[in-house]
Amino acid sequence: MDVLQYSIRKLIAGIPLIIGVTLISFLLIVYFGPDQTYSLLGKNPTAEEIAELRSQLGYDQPFITRYLQYLREIVTLDFGSSQASDEKVSSILARTIPVSLALSLPGFILGNLLGVLLALVAAYNRGRWLDKFIMGFAAVGMSISFLIVIIGFQILLSSSEGLDLFPVRGWDTSTPLQYLRYVTVPTLATVFVALGYNTRFYRAVIVEEMTRDHVRTARAFGIPQAQLFYKNILKNSMVPIVTRVVFSIPLIVISGSLLLESYFGIPGIGYVTYDAIVTGDQPVLKAVVALTALLFVVAQLLTDIAYRIVDPRVSLK
């Protein structure tokens, strides 16, 4: 029950963060955003229609009331309906989030696993050509814009100019084979770019751990280099690695998927968010912002718990 108590305390401590995020978003999107009255109504609205819509949208109420209303929506998870499609926002979220997960998860897992592996190999061969080669490849991955990679892979693999192996756009998870066909090109693009950043970061962490005194001790007792690396040093590096992995989850799910989904026409939450941005669909935007804030607080909590598992010096008090 220690863990439960700790979790609850941490979640409560995350409330200022949620308030901050929602406040800023609310300020920017709703309060300072353009007056939506006229864009929502058709031509030649009557005075009553205007007044009714304005009261519905809450334009006649003080700021704090409107903000509290927003908070209430978050707690009840009821954001109303999308202004563009009239579908309930919560049902939109329920529909699109699994799609985004199915899209981002393979790339996320592969990107990190490969990143750690490459980093280990690079650090093990520190200073030699294999290290420089891997780091060079990472530098390249870091230097090409994600968009360019996406377009490039699409040309190479999906288009008639290239190999034409995969579909250009779209999404179909009816069978595992179809899923693979549609998820491969986006995943390859994600991994290519992620590897650049991940490998460099993880290598730096591992090199830092390599220079610690206890590594010298282990060497002095004859422990073989390979065991040192893949058992001792790796475990020591887990704290920063885990932090990064967990903290990148909220980013991947929302920001990362936005570009991929818009480009490949995949109906996930990123695509919906982008649509909402373009059309100014406030209910959807408010929901997505709140969701991200919550995800971050949960991510923080998960990281703290994960620390406890990999580093015995950290206590849950």
Partner 1 sequence: MNTVLEATTANAHGDSLWLKALHKFRHDRVGMWSLGIVAAYALIALGVMLGWWATDWAAVTGPKWAPVSAEYWFGTNIIGQDIFARALYGTRTAFEVGFIVALGATLLGAVLGAVAGFFSGTIVDEVVIWFMGVLDSVPFILLVAAIAYSLQGSPWAMHIAMIATFWITTARLVRGEVIKLKGLEFVEAAHAIGLSNRLIIFRHILPNTLHILLVQATISFVAAIKSEVILSFLGLGVKDGMSWGLMISESTFEVLAGFFNNFIAASVLMFGLVMAFNLLSDALQDALDPRTVSAS
Partner 2 sequence: MPLLRVRDLAVEFRTQQGVARAVDGISFDLHAGETLGLVGESGCGKTVTGLALLGLIPSPPGHIAGGSIEFMGKELVGLDDAQMRAIRGRDISMIFQEPMTALNPVFRIGSQMGDVLRLHQGLSRKQARTAAIEMLAKVGIPEPAQRIDNYPHELSGGMRQRVMIAMALSCGPQLLVADEPTTALDVTTQAQVLEQIAKLQKEFGMAMILVTHDLGVVAETCQRALVMYCGRIVEDSPVTELYATPRHPYTAGLLASIPRLRNERISELPVIPGMVPDVLHLPAGCSFADRCSKVQAICRTSAPLLKKLPGREAHVACYDPN
- Which residues are at the interface with partner 1 (CB under 8 A)? 16-17, 20-21, 24-25, 27-29, 31-34, 127, 139-140, 142-148, 151-152, 155, 159, 161, 250-251, 254-255, 258-259, 262, 273-274, 277-278, 280, 285, 288-289, 292-293, 296
Q: Could you tell me which of 3, 8, 1, 9 has the C-alpha nearest to residue 315? A: 3
Between CA 205 and CA 235 the distance in angstroms is 11
Which one among 39, 55, 91, 217 touches partner 2, defined by CB under 8 A?
217
Cβ pair 209, 124 in contact under 8 A = no
Residue closer to partner 1 (CB basis): 238 or 289: 289
* DSSP conformation class of 174: S
Q: Could you tell me which of 179, 122, 180, 192 has the C-alpha nearest to residue 153? A: 192
Binding-site partner at residue 137 among partner 1, partner 2, none, CB < 5 to 8 Å by type: none
Backbone angles phi, psi at 80, to 5 degrees: 85, -155
**26 CB burial (10 A radius; 0-12, 13-18, 19+):** buried
Q: How far is the CB of 214 from partner 2 (least distance, A)?
A: 4
Residue 218 makes contact with partner 2 by CB under 8 A: yes
Binding-site partner at residue 214 among partner 1, partner 2, none, CB < 5 to 8 Å by type: partner 2
Residues 101-130 that bind partner 2 (CB under 8 A): 127
Residues 222-261 that bind partner 2 (CB under 8 A): 222-225, 227, 232, 235-236, 238
Q: Report residue 75 as tokens.
A: 């707690």
Query: Identity (one letter) of the amino acid at 12?
Result: I
Between CA 220 and CA 218 the distance in angstroms is 5
Identify the bridge partners of residue 288 per DSSP, sorted by sequence position: none
Q: Report the largest interatomic distance among the alpha carbons of the chain, rounded to a whole angstrom.
A: 87
Residue 214 makes contact with partner 2 by CB under 8 A: yes
Q: How far is the CB of 34 from partner 2 (least distance, A)?
A: 54
Residue 213 makes contact with partner 2 by CB under 8 A: yes
Between CA 37 and CA 116 the distance in angstroms is 52
Residue closer to partner 1 (CB basis): 250 or 268: 250
Q: How far is the CB of 315 from partner 1 (least distance, A)?
A: 20
Q: Report residue 191 as tokens.
A: 């991994």
Q: How far is the CB of 211 from partner 2 (least distance, A)?
A: 10
Binding-site partner at residue 235 among partner 2, partner 1, none, CB < 5 to 8 Å by type: partner 2
Q: Could you tell me which of 141, 130, 277, 128 has the C-alpha nearest to residue 201? A: 141
Binding-site partner at residue 293 among partner 2, partner 1, none, CB < 5 to 8 Å by type: partner 1
Contact positions vs partner 2 (CB under 8 A): 127, 212-214, 216-225, 227, 232, 235-236, 238, 310-313
